[in-house]
Structure 1
Amino acid sequence: MIKIYLLNLLISFLSYQNQNKDTIDTYLNTLHKEEKLNGNVLIIQNGKTLYEKSFGYTDGSKNTKLSKEYKFNIGSVYKEFPAVSIMQLEQNKLIHLDDKVSKYIPDLPQWSEKVTLKNLLQYSSGLPLINWNQYFSKGNNVTFEDVFKDLQALDTLQFEPGTNYLYSNNNPILLIKIIENVSNMKFEEYLQKHICIPFHLKNIILKEQYPFIDKNKMAIPFDTHFKEDNYKIAIKNIILTTTARDIASWFEQLDTYKIINKESIKTLSETVITGDNIQSPLGSCTWKNNTIIKHAHHGSSGNYECLVSRFNQDGITIVILTNQKNGNVHEITDTIYKILKKDI
């Protein structure tokens, strides 16, 4: 009787999972037919792949269909990688978060003597936004040297460090420079040696520039008219690309404290102030009873847009990677989660 009961329970569970998959597939196919989804979707539940599918095209030519092997630029989600690298160095007592930037980068103005590494992590340094348009409008290929020269010419900060919040790429760019100076290796080398190789993330790749030199298995961004993005940028350390499966693995290993310890994850979950759209180095992390219950991070770059969400209390990870921005990745994730939780 017990065996029959367990068998019936298993059949019911499998039927429940299949119903969820069918409902999700119908929803996502409808979005694709309405030209509101071009990208890769991965759903993992309790460590197993529940759903994985590609929708649409690899580029604006519409000649090649996407597959799960394709990599996407993940926009601001790249900021997790220098942040985690900083915490690895801190755990190894090579740096301290209260250290000033000037200790590790001596050729910056006086403001670097006030800004701490923690300020950089929390976007509370007072550093201004990067004026990307001044480069893109001229057709210039933006490099790290361009951004660093602007920082060297910066006289004053936007506010006193630690008193406010400004989501500027200048912060992780300086963190990367500090990682290189402390570790005596290029950030790409550090990433491979201390993150990608030991944690089996072979498809997380830093690209030299956009437009890409090597386009093999790369999803190319395009708008709703299938016109491909034509800006130029060559800051290799921030053009981070990945498959859906590898970024899901990154979130799972991070949130189970395999890459850095729990205290470090707590530090990277903190924000300098509270409010709408105030991000930590890990995007958005919700804790309950000393456990992460949700970790989500949104990113975009040109017509790339992604959202990775890990609902730890439910064992669910949802990855949406797109190369045609429709501004609906949050809505897609919410709908998938509700289907899985049977809330609709």
Structure 2
Amino acid sequence: MKKTRLGFLLTILFITICYPFNTAVAQSFESKVDQLIQTEFSDSNGPGGVFMVAQYGKPIYRKAFGKANLELDNNLSPESVFQIGSMTKQFTAISVLMLEEQGKLNTNDPISKYLPDYPKGDKITIHHLLTHTSGIKDFTKMKSLSTIAQKEMTPKMMVDFFKDEPMDFDPGEKFEYNNSGYVLLGYLIELVSGEQYEDFIKKHIFDKAGMNQSYYASDRKIINKRAYGYHRKEYGYVNKTMISFSVPFSSGSLMSTVSDMLKWQNALNQHLFLSTDKTRKAFSKYKLNNGEAFTYGYGWHIKDINGIPTREHGGSIFGFKSMGVYIPSVDIYVIGFSNCDCHSPTQITRDIAALALTEIGK
């Protein structure tokens, strides 16, 4: 009886001492994160954002700021669905590696193997497309983009739109962020798999990872908990510019929630889609023709925060901005979405990640 009572008392003492400390740390971290976010997202009556911090696959901070729809005066919630822009490239890159693991393509293949009439296609490899080193003209920098921005384009039409443009540099000579390369990758996914890109992503990634609130973007479909996108003018906010999502296609046309993006990150860690070796290809640094290393893998920037390696990527599309940072060594994932392209979550997300390293990454 005495031993049992002593054990009980020790347990109470442990809880009394430790629990308030842990609660205090959590409250302090939450308060500091709130302050970081509110430097940019301070207008509770305007469009805002959703931010999440997770460690070991579980959320430890998740909050929404501002409005999902100004006209209806609806607040954003942690489950709001945002357009994620170029974070789409992660899904495209992993899809390519899935097809490589199935033996249906090789990242060292020249694109002429699949598109025989592509100019200089024998010198441009899938690897070049994945790493933004192809030298292909980025369609977002073409003055004629406005002529197709609202048209329904097939992947082939998109490729034909930019393929005859002069190359910016020879393949492998330079790293220069490039949306055209990822549109080409989406087209190759369709050619090799026999499935439409939208269907491939849903079947082989979203459904497999349980990402039930993630979609190929549409302004016509009824999407539960949709966040509406905005621009800010001198006279106030306006609804986002309308585009056809067939234009950004596999370079920037997906939608998701912060919770679904955590499912994505967890699925990557658990090798749900790829073997360990194949997954490693996405997160490796590569070199240019001259041997110089650059900080991009396949669909992710490979960077660091205070010397600690990170995997990062952001996105920007009319009315929306996004940013995600993953710190593998401490399994911390930080993600931020904004439904006004006047508010960037990029630096805030990195600042939160740096704070998380200091406060909880031990």
TM-score interval, normalised by the smaller of the two chains: 0.7 to 0.9
Per the alignment, in what secondary structure is the counterpart of residue 245 of structure 1? helix
Residue ranges of structure 2 left out of the alignment (5+ in a row):
1-6
Normalization by structure 2: what TM-score?
A: 0.81
- State the identity %: 20
Residue 263 (structure 1) shift = 2.3
The structure with the larger Rg is: 2
2:79 aligns with 69
- The structure 2 residue matched to 1:304, chosen from 305, 320, 343, is 320
1:246 aligns with 260
Aligned residues of 2:65 and 2:76 also touching (Cα < 8 A): yes
Residue 259 (structure 1) shift = 2.3
1:28 aligns with 37
Aligned residues of 2:281 and 2:297 also touching (Cα < 8 A): no
Aligned residues of 1:124 and 1:162 also touching (Cα < 8 A): yes
Residue 293 (structure 1) shift = 4.5
2:11 aligns with 3
Residue 177 (structure 1) shift = 1.2
Question: Aligned pair 1:227/2:238, yes or no?
Answer: yes
Q: Distance in 2 between matches of 1:188 and 1:88?
A: 15
Residue 84 (structure 1) shift = 0.4
Q: Distance in 1 between matches of 2:178 and 2:57?
A: 35
Higher alpha-carbon deviation: 56-65 or 81-90: 56-65
Residue 245 (structure 1) shift = 0.6
Mark the CA change 1:90 to 1:150 in structure 2 (over 3 Å): closer, same or farther: same
Q: Distance in 1 between matches of 2:125 and 2:81?
A: 34
2:128 aligns with 119
Mark the CA change 1:139 to 1:254 in structure 2 (over 3 Å): closer, same or farther: closer
- The structure 1 residue matched to 2:226, chosen from 218, 221, 229, is 218
Residue ranges of structure 1 left out of the alignment (5+ in a row):
none
- The structure 2 residue matched to 1:325, chosen from 334, 341, 352, is 341
- The structure 2 residue matched to 1:280, chosen from 297, 301, 314, is 297
Deviations 1:162-206 (A, max 9, x none): 222222211111111111111111112211222111221222210
Deviations 1:222-244 (A, max 9, x none): 12321112242231544100011
Mark the CA change 1:326 to 1:234 in structure 2 (over 3 Å): closer, same or farther: closer
2:3 aligns with none
Q: Distance in 2 between matches of 1:271 and 1:5?
A: 53
Q: Distance in 2 between matches of 1:33 and 1:159?
A: 43
- The structure 1 residue matched to 2:282, chosen from 239, 260, 268, is 268
Question: Aligned pair 1:129/2:144, yes or no?
Answer: no
Mark the CA change 1:110 to 1:331 in structure 2 (over 3 Å): closer, same or farther: closer
- The structure 2 residue matched to 1:45, chosen from 46, 49, 55, is 55
1:15 aligns with 24
Question: Aligned pair 1:315/2:325, yes or no?
Answer: no
Residue 309 (structure 1) shift = 1.1
Aligned residues of 1:60 and 1:222 also touching (Cα < 8 A): no
Q: Distance in 1 between matches of 2:35 and 2:185?
A: 43
Residue 120 (structure 1) shift = 1.0
What number of residue pairs does the alignment pair up? 334
Deviations 1:11-30 (A, max 9, x none): 42233112222332354356
Aligned residues of 2:321 and 2:340 also touching (Cα < 8 A): yes
Counterpart AA for 1:294: T
Q: Distance in 2 between matches of 1:212 and 1:159?
A: 39
Aligned residues of 2:286 and 2:293 also touching (Cα < 8 A): no
Aligned residues of 1:204 and 1:242 also touching (Cα < 8 A): yes
Normalization by structure 1: what TM-score?
A: 0.85
